[in-house]
């Protein structure tokens, strides 16, 4: 079991903090002494998760704040609240996401739901929180990707799946490749500007959470075949959130993590097991494509470096 280094005095934000890998990350980070803002879409679920963690760690410093990553106005409101507090932010964990709704759904801003929730929302949040991150002595941003990024493609001419036939699994893969590209580009920007910020990524392998079923229940229509197979057959090695969160915790806190590093399970098929360095798909190793996606993301979200850190 990965031992999270002492986090006493550190301020942390974890998105999707009420269940699965997000809840486990909060539990372990708070148990190591961090002050954690649990960023959740449904406050009641966040409060329930907080109470469960407090039962195990009575001294945990936990705060619930609402954010809906599928609504850029909500992202701005959340970030503005933290900026108004002025507390330096040591760690941002971009964990929240949605997986494979059976039909094409859209966010409050008209983005395809997976691209909006899994990538554009976290992108906007990360950029908006840079002023607080850069006031911390050794800030980090750890972003959850997925093994599906390996077969993802960034369709710059149709990022929102408006022209092609919608594919739940390929849309998810695109959003998770985008997360990996964000990680790499943020690391490049930090190096170029001389920031002490460490940008890393992780994937959980096949971790048993509600991610596979929650997305499949959205909208109308029958869940996609991939979701039905995952929920009806136990043909792949899988692991509990306690183990599946470890790559993310390694990316977020390990002194061995490197800029642009990517971490995941090292066991069977890369789905289970102890954390190791994961292979980065060549599509996320293309600096030009990473920079292009960043620029397009600034355009789509209206959030950019010039408007936040200059």
Catalytic residue (one of 172, 206, 262, 263): 172
Classify the C-alpha dihedral 31-97-111-65 as positive or negative. negative
Going by C-alpha positions, the residue among 157, 187, 146, 171 that lies closest to residue 291 is 187
For residues 52 and 117, give the distance between their C-alpha atoms in angstroms, rounded to a whole number. 26
Between 246-253 and 20-31, two packed helices, what is the crossing angle to 10 degrees? Answer: 50
- 144 C-beta neighbours (distance < 10 Å), count: 28
> 5 by DSSP, 3-state: which?
coil
Classify the C-alpha dihedral 9-15-21-24 as positive or negative. positive
Burial bucket for residue 40 (CB in 10 Å: 0-12, 13-18, 19+): buried
Which position has the token pair 């929240």? 96
Residue 79 tokens read as 């970030």
Q: Phi and psi of 54, rounded to 5°? A: -65, -30
Q: Active site includes 172?
A: yes
Q: What are the distances in angstroms from CA 302 to CA 172, 241, 296, 298?
A: 23, 35, 10, 5
Point out the residues that are catalytic: 172
């Amino acid at each position: 079991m990965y031992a999270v280094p002492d986090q006493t005095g550190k301020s942390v934000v974890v998105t999707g903090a009420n269940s699965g890998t997000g809840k486990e990350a909060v539990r372990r980070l708070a148990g190591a002494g961090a002050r954690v803002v649990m960023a959740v879409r449904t406050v009641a679920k966040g409060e329930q998760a907080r109470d469960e963690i407090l039962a195990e760690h009575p001294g945990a410093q936990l705060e619930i704040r609402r954010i809906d990553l599928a609504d850029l106005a909500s992202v701005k409101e959340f970030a503005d609240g933290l900026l108004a507090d002025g507390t330096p932010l040591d760690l941002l964990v971009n964990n929240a996401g949605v997986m494979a709704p059976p039909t094409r759904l859209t966010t409050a801003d008209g983005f395809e739901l997976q691209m909006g929730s899994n990538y554009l929302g976290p992108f906007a949040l990360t950029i908006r929180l840079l002023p607080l991150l850069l006031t911390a002595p050794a800030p980090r941003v750890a972003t959850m990707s997925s093994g599906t990024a390996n077969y993802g493609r960034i369709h710059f001419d149709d990022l929102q799946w408006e022209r092609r036939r919608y594919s739940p699994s390929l849309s998810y893969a695109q959003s998770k490749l985008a997360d990996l590209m964000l990680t790499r580009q943020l690391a490049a920007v930090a190096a170029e500007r001389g920031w002490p910020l460490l940008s890393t990524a992780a994937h959980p392998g096949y971790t048993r959470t509600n991610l596979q079923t929650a997305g499949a229940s959205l909208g109308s229509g029958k869940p996609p075949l991939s979701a039905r197979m995952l929920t009806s057959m136990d043909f792949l090695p899988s692991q509990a959130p306690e183990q599946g969160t470890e790559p993310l915790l390694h990316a977020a806190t390990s002194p061995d993590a490197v800029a642009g590093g990517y971490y995941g399970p090292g066991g069977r098929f890369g789905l289970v097991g102890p954390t190791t360095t994961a292979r980065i798909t060549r599509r996320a190793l293309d600096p030009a494509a990473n920079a292009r996606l960043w620029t397009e993301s600034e355009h789509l979200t209206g959030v950019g470096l010039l408007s936040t850190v200059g």
